[in-house]
Amino acid sequence: MDSSFIRSLVETTADNVERVVIGKRREVELVMTALLCKGHVLIEDVPGVGKTVLTKAIARSIGSSYKRIQFTPDLLPSDITGVNVYNQQKSVFEFRPGPIVSQMVLADEINRATPKTQAALLEAMEEAQVTIDGATHMLPQPFLVLATENPIDYEGTFPLPEAQLDRFMIRIALGYPGRQGELEMLDRQHQRHPLETLRQVTTIDDLRTAQDAVKTVHVAHSIREYIVTLVEATRKHDEVFLGASPRGSIALFNASRAWAAVRGRDFVLPDDVKFLAVPTLAHRIIVGPSARMQGYDSRSVMNDLLRTIPIPQPTSSPRSATPV
């Protein structure tokens, strides 16, 4: 399939979302990149910058089902996955699905739930299924978890364990919209919230087609080696306690293919890998205590590696598409 189909789908969806979420084009495209790879997104930012609205806008734009889970300390795993309930009339147990059984799930303030409850998402995020009392239930496709957390407020929160973080393909931050964007936001909400009139602009079938088409994007051997070199370097860095896992290599590989398609190409450039290295790998890295005390974090590690590791040089002409 022509990569222009994927670019057109993402541009149409992003244009529609920007009617609600102003000035965050690159972040919207990153979420769409994860969606094209069937990956999950962690949005880490302060309250009130549009994390929940972004999720609702994308769900409405593509016509997917949508559920929101408010994570709290008293939330139970069964509140997420669902339960088996005994039907007295039929004398059988019936599965009553929880909110995780949806195409797009917003896990709001995910770090406010206990680790036991957070773990209820692990099987769903990795295998797109939930197991209740030994019975496995498949989740609808496409399936995407967008989780939010506030990095400032630590009281009453539980840090996400490494296994949970590793299942998020991309971590992003929205940030404040800027003065002009905030003024435009006030203008648009003068009468009513623009989300109320947001319409569907693409279909689930088109999205599935685009997800399949992303797999045809070419990745040269030298770029594959570059990806593995970056991931291996996170494990050998002096300030790193735990580096990125092989799942990180796969995430960067797949995200680079999707990002190339979003830019209108059927081949990956080293710049695609460099751009996505921090969003896909930084949250998988644990920095040592002494480095953290000096203000050195996982993003700093990745930026150091991107500066020091040489990018691959082209050995032959790229595929037919022209870089955008």
Q: Show the tokens assigned to 29.
A: 């495209």
Q: Are strands 92-97 and 104-108 parallel, antiparallel or unpaired?
A: unpaired
Res. 312 pLDDT band, cuts 50 70 90:
confident
Q: Where are the domains of the chain?
A: 1-74+102-216, 217-313
pLDDT greater than 80 at residue 153: no
Count CA atoms closer than 13 A to 247's CA, side-chain side.
Answer: 17
Q: Which CATH number is 217-313 given?
A: 1.10.8.80
pLDDT greater than 90 at residue 255: yes
pLDDT greater than 50 at residue 321: no
- pLDDT number for residue 251: 92
Tens digits of residue pLDDT in 68-94: 988 888 888 888 888 888 788 877 888
User: In 10 A of CB 247, how many CB atoms?
Assistant: 14
Res. 224 pLDDT band, cuts 50 70 90:
very high
pTM listed for this prediction: 0.85
Percent of the chain with pLDDT over 90: 10
Percent of the chain with pLDDT over 70: 92
Tens digits of residue pLDDT in 243-252: 788 898 999 9
Distance between CA atoms of 139 and 137, rounded to whole angstroms? 7
Residue in this structure with the two tokens 């404040």, named with its chain if needed? 176
Q: Which CATH number is 1-74+102-216 given?
A: 3.40.50.300
Mean pLDDT of 89-117: 85
Average pLDDT, rounded, for the chain: 83
Distance between CA atoms of 98 and 77, rounded to whole angstroms? 10
pLDDT greater than 50 at residue 324: no
Res. 314 pLDDT band, cuts 50 70 90:
low
Q: Are both 1-74+102-216 and 217-313 of the same fold?
A: no
For the chain, how many residues are written? 324
